[in-house]
Amino acid sequence: MKYYVLLVLTVLFWSGNFIFGRLVSSSIEPMQLSFFRWFFVLLLLSPFLIINYKNILKVFKKEYLVLLILGSLGISGFNTFLYYGLQTTTATNALLINSSIPIFIIILSAIIFKTSITKIQFSGVILSTLGVIYLILKGEIDHIFELEFTHGDLWIIAACVDWALYTVLLKYKPKELNSIEFFSITTLIGTIILFIVFLYQGYSFEFSFLEKNEVLYSLAYIVIFPSILSFYFWNRAILEVGANKAGQFTHLMPIFGAILAYFFLGEVMQTYHIVGIILIFLGIYLSIFLKKREK
């Protein structure tokens, strides 16, 4: 049960990433936000890299390809795609597309590992997805015709596929590395990749954007909660509960988004929020806990 708690906390912190990412979107470029986010995470993780460098280096020499792929997907790719997408698409579209992550995980698991899914599990995934869509459409099916899609939506789709692939491939995580060692080395790899792209795009290594309090506080939140804590929790939980089950918890993001919007943006909880929340929780129950009882 504790791993499900870790997954709930992970998704809660990631929901805040959407809130604060949007908050500073006009004050910092997506590439800057992505690079400096992981640069500061790397600084905080550097003691673990230094202390455990012998084991990390030994494993890297044997498993460098796996670590390069996971570092590229989990650190460099997902949030960079997300921040670019949020520049030109609405939060509504982003949340709607983000709800497809569990589906992508199931598809990729079936393709790569020939993983099967029961009818009850599949029904749960569909029910949770409908709950997310109901939330986003505010309980009015006609609202679906008001959605407008932009090239930013393609960035969000790329982010979803990226994260689903990362989640599935976590099965190949080197067993010789504990969770913090694995997170540290993939963060180093991902930050190096981001730094190369950062310089290639003409950005300079300066911190003038931190003079704005909203950027400073938002970046501090993003570094500590959606980055360090969420990634550590997610990586641990995936290995225990599996990719398909963990992926279902991403459907909680619209719920947490609505709650955070209530506290930070003053938005009121509506009836459609309650209906959507019930559908999502029923879906998670069917796809995870009911199956567990059937064993």
Q: Between residues 152 and 220, which one has the greater pLDDT?
A: 220
pLDDT at 273: 64
pLDDT at 284: 67
Q: Tell me the mean pLDDT in the region 33-58.
A: 95
Confidence of residue 150 (pLDDT cuts 50, 70, 90): low
pLDDT at 282: 77
Q: Between residues 220 and 157, which one has the greater pLDDT?
A: 220
Residue environment code for 64-80, b if the CB has 16+ CB neighbours within 10 A, otherwise e: eebbebbbbbbbbbbbb
Measured CA to CA, the distance from residue 272 to residue 277 in angstroms comes to: 8
Contact 72, 189 (CB under 8 A): yes
Residue environment code for 21-33, b if the CB has 16+ CB neighbours within 10 A, otherwise e: bbbbeeebbbbbb
Q: At residue 135, does pLDDT exceed 70?
A: no
Confidence of residue 31 (pLDDT cuts 50, 70, 90): very high
Query: Which of 52-66, 181-195, 212-226 is predicted least confidently?
Result: 212-226
Q: Tell me the mean pLDDT in the region 82-107.
A: 75
Measured CA to CA, the distance from residue 183 to residue 186 in angstroms comes to: 5
Q: At residue 293, does pLDDT exceed 50?
A: no
Reference 80, options 173, 189, 170, 163; nearest CA is 163
Contact 51, 239 (CB under 8 A): no
Q: At residue 149, does pLDDT exceed 70?
A: no
Report pLDDT digits (tens) over 212-233. Answer: 888 899 999 999 999 999 988 9
Alpha-carbon distance values, 184 to 2, 33, 188, 231 (Å): 23, 19, 6, 11
How confident is the prediction for the chain on average, in pLDDT?
83
Reference 253, options 156, 188, 152, 140; nearest CA is 156
- Amino acid, res. 174: P
Q: Tell me the mean pLDDT in the region 109-133.
A: 78
Measured CA to CA, the distance from residue 78 to residue 10 in angstroms comes to: 15
* pTM: predicted TM-score of the whole model, two decimal places: 0.80
Q: Tell me the mean pLDDT in the region 26-49.
A: 92
Q: At residue 164, does pLDDT exceed 50?
A: yes
Q: At residue 269, does pLDDT exceed 70?
A: no
pLDDT at 27: 83
Q: At residue 120, does pLDDT exceed 70?
A: yes
Confidence of residue 295 (pLDDT cuts 50, 70, 90): very low
